[in-house]
Chains A and B, each alone.
Chain A
């Protein structure tokens, strides 16, 4: 049977067909749906782990115990999981272990543009790169065989355009491979120096064998055409090359580490001019250059951003398509940045922080949108969990006084992911940081996944929810306050008190994400034009439903979710529920 699948769905399907028993992940665009789909198959256990490191540890535990396991994460997740990853290459596996790393060239939804292939190489594990959903499924299955025959974790590297593009896939049945025998084997799995030294030798020998394998593997193939130009490429870029350079010969690499050196040399030999077209880093290109082969790549293409079909036309000096020219208007068009949703619980907090001109060490989640105009209420955003450490460092550098109008803001999921260790540092090293945990009862940014604080697992089973108040008290924070971020007066009062206190404090702002709130009255509000004084105070909330019209404001009732935050800030009592009295 054939089906149109995203790359992510295809990977989940591939894992299922390959007989995988354990799937773990921490969400992150563009990888999130891999594990959401994996959870739909009853035969596979699937979990949201608290972070990527735990995900890989659970996955590798499953693999060592003899089951096939898949672990998925976005590119920056691999940074978090790097510690176990590097040593797993030494121990090897038992049941197959696949790490899916999803890169985001162009940063559609990421804080940087790192190339995961560097990680695969540094960890010394093979890397496969599919070029569409069919290959995403096929390579996933193949990876488990490869993993088991070479006794190594394997990386499947995808990019946003593979993960989120839908192409047709031929489905197959699940092959139950069962569990491999589990035997205690300390010299293989206990990496004390004496054993690790022996294992390192095996890692290097394995790389040679993998290199040998890549020379003849069907993963790498040449498509001969005119030999004036030869292009070496991988992933979705292969499709773009096919689309735009119809005459070129192509060496399509499905395995980009270790590279098939002989095959590449042979291909280079046959073509007049050799190009490597690859997104992000010159990964393939640098190897080829190091072998003394003349090649073009990043002299023609950028390491920044995506390579699209039109990029290839432009950089290779081919004529662009004859399009509608809108250049004279395009540059002047207003941008459309994402905004906090109507009714977003985070809006109340950022409104107050903006008002108090507080220095905000920020973090990553929906709430990062509080950094944009007109709220402008965030000073830093580096990586998940960084807010608390950043706030401590600011205080240590500039003194306690600076901490009197300074907070760290961090979402519930992010706090569990990697904020808790920062909070321990606050207490341990006597900082006076005020940490605000934005508890909106979900992992919002990535599409509303469950997490330990929400009371449900990935498979939807109810569990005992993590108690944030008790957790922060347990690490030694004595000042802990819970407030509704829409109670602006109380929030402001609490904020001032806690920032003033010269000791660690935690404020938990608790209100459900507007997109998952099923109980509140969603009747929209309207502005009485007679009562509106035009003070524009409500405009400071940055609610996309409040629109300035002449000297007054109006509410877009099609979008308003009736949260009532604007009512709180209106000094003229001009905002009322639609259909209510006094309109």
Chain B
């Protein structure tokens, strides 16, 4: 990898992508990297398509990941994975949550959900990890911790020590929800 690692996190408003990126940012900072994050708040929070761009390494200029230069795509939803695929560089890695969330045009029957999303992704990339975030989160004790399951999977790819991740989670997540989040994170990691 070059001096900079680019991670694009995409999903649907309300899935908790922001918390995931916060923990990630905390970890890479603790590891001594420079970091820049780009995010858009606003309309997108009402169930729209959301994304966070995390860049860490040395001498980072742009806060956004240049199109086609993402090293890792962490997708919380299949359609969004497909939508943002072109941001990945050619030998990039994708971690995709095997969850389908229908957007309004699909709900109304005005558009069709690409049911072959996973196949398309696999046909284009060698390094595809499919994660069943919903089952893992449910097993961990709260369906809302899908974001931590996915972060756990990402942590395996990035390779920082588990303790650092847990430490940052302790600093970021309210004590009341900490245990279930750690459990979900570990489920994703293992």
Binding site for B on A (CB under 8 A): 4, 29-30, 33, 108-109, 132, 160-161, 164-168, 236, 239-240, 242-244, 308-310, 313, 320-327, 329-330, 332-341, 366, 369, 372-374, 447, 539, 542, 544, 546-548, 558-559
Instruction: Give the contacting residue for A310; candidates B36, B66, B124; CB below 8 A.
Output: B66
CA A308 – CA B168 in complex, angstroms?
31
Say yes or no for B83: interface residue by CB 8 A criterion.
yes
Give chain B's interface secondary structure class: mixed
Say yes or no: A323-B41 contact (C-beta < 8 A), given A333-B114, A547-B107. no
Instruction: Give the contacting residue for B102; candidates A322, A325, A338, A547; CB below 8 A.
Output: A547
B37 and A166 contact, CB distance less than 8 A: yes
Instruction: Give the contacting residue for A338; candidates B41, B44, B106; CB below 8 A.
Output: B44
B62 and A243 contact, CB distance less than 8 A: yes
- Which interface class (under 10, 10 to 19, 20 to 34, 35 or more) fits B? 35 or more
Quote the shortest CB–CB distance from A368 to chain B (angstroms): 9
- The residue of chain A having its C-beta at the shortest distance from the C-beta of B69 within the complex is A321
Say yes or no for B43: interface residue by CB 8 A criterion.
yes
CA A11 – CA B180 in complex, angstroms?
35
Say yes or no for B1: interface residue by CB 8 A criterion.
no
B124 and A109 contact, CB distance less than 8 A: no
B85 and A338 contact, CB distance less than 8 A: no
Say yes or no: A165-B104 contact (C-beta < 8 A), given A108-B42, A320-B68. no
CA A233 – CA B68 in complex, angstroms?
24
Say yes or no for B157: interface residue by CB 8 A criterion.
no
Chain B residues lying within 8 Å of A323, measured Cβ to Cβ, are 67-69, 86-90
CA A242 – CA B107 in complex, angstroms?
43
Chain B residues lying within 8 Å of A539, measured Cβ to Cβ, are 107-108
Chain A residues lying within 8 Å of B66, measured Cβ to Cβ, are 243-244, 308-310, 313, 321
The 10 A-B pairs at the shortest CB distance, nearest first, are namely A109-B42, A323-B68, A321-B68, A338-B46, A334-B111, A165-B63, A310-B67, A242-B61, A338-B48, A309-B66
A29 and B48 contact, CB distance less than 8 A: no
Say yes or no for B64: interface residue by CB 8 A criterion.
yes
Say yes or no for B45: interface residue by CB 8 A criterion.
yes
Say yes or no for B16: interface residue by CB 8 A criterion.
no
CA A374 – CA B62 in complex, angstroms?
39
- The residue of chain B having its C-beta at the shortest distance from the C-beta of A237 within the complex is B62
B67 and A336 contact, CB distance less than 8 A: no
Chain B residues lying within 8 Å of A164, measured Cβ to Cβ, are 38-41
A236 and B63 contact, CB distance less than 8 A: yes
Instruction: Give the contacting residue for B110; candidates A4, A330, A373; CB below 8 A.
Output: A373
Say yes or no for B125: interface residue by CB 8 A criterion.
yes
- The residue of chain B having its C-beta at the shortest distance from the C-beta of A3 within the complex is B29
- Given A323-B67, A326-B82, A338-B46, 6 further pairs, Cβ under 8 A: A165-B64, A324-B86, A324-B92, A336-B48, A336-B79, A547-B107
CA A330 – CA B125 in complex, angstroms?
16
Chain A residues lying within 8 Å of B42, measured Cβ to Cβ, are 29-30, 108-109
Chain A residues lying within 8 Å of B114, measured Cβ to Cβ, are 329, 332-334
Quote the shortest CB–CB distance from A337 to chain B (angstroms): 6
A165 and B46 contact, CB distance less than 8 A: no
Instruction: Give the contacting residue for B103; candidates A167, A336, A546; CB below 8 A.
Output: A336
CA A4 – CA B23 in complex, angstroms?
12
B62 and A239 contact, CB distance less than 8 A: yes
Quote the shortest CB–CB distance from B77 to chain A (angstroms): 9
Quote the shortest CB–CB distance from B110 to chain A (angstroms): 7
Chain A residues lying within 8 Å of B80, measured Cβ to Cβ, are 336
- The residue of chain B having its C-beta at the shortest distance from the C-beta of A240 within the complex is B62
Quote the shortest CB–CB distance from B86 to chain A (angstroms): 5
B47 and A338 contact, CB distance less than 8 A: yes
Chain A residues lying within 8 Å of B164, measured Cβ to Cβ, are none
CA A323 – CA B73 in complex, angstroms?
12
CA A183 – CA B137 in complex, angstroms?
64
B35 and A310 contact, CB distance less than 8 A: no
- The residue of chain A having its C-beta at the shortest distance from the C-beta of B102 within the complex is A547
